[in-house]
């Protein structure tokens, strides 16, 4: 049985994963930048607390989907370095997950901001 790591090491590893995604994944930086713009706009348009919470959860979903996509792509590349049709399917599905989440977040943003414009 493997010894459990300390809480400090667990947090350090988690932050290392976030850092890796931000530094190495262009789309993660795009989503993070869009999220920051949305947070600023929610302040600018003085949205209600519940509207801000909805936006924050939506942004968080997109960021998490991007991190899961990165995880899937990394694992697939490690397991199958050469092209394989099943590897492509796994990567395409992971990318589709991000796309669906991002589109949904645009819809949520539109619904919340449309009445303010």
Active site positions, annotated: 66
Rounded CA gap, 32 and 54, in Å?
16
Question: What is the helix, strand, coil percentage profile of the chain, to 5?
Answer: 85, 0, 15
């Amino acid at each position: 049985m493997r010894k459990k790591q300390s809480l400090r090491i667990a947090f350090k590893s988690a932050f290392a994963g976030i850092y890796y995604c931000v530094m190495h994944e262009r789309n993660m930086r795009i989503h993070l930048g869009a999220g920051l713009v949305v947070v600023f706009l929610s302040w600018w348009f003085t949205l209600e607390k519940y509207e801000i919470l909805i936006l924050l959860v939506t942004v968080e979903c997109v960021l998490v989907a991007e991190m899961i996509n990165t995880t899937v792509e990394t694992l697939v590349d490690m397991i199958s370095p050469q092209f394989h049709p099943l590897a492509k399917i796994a990567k395409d599905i992971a990318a589709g997950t991000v796309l669906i989440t991002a589109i949904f977040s645009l819809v949520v943003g539109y619904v919340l901001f449309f009445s303010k414009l």
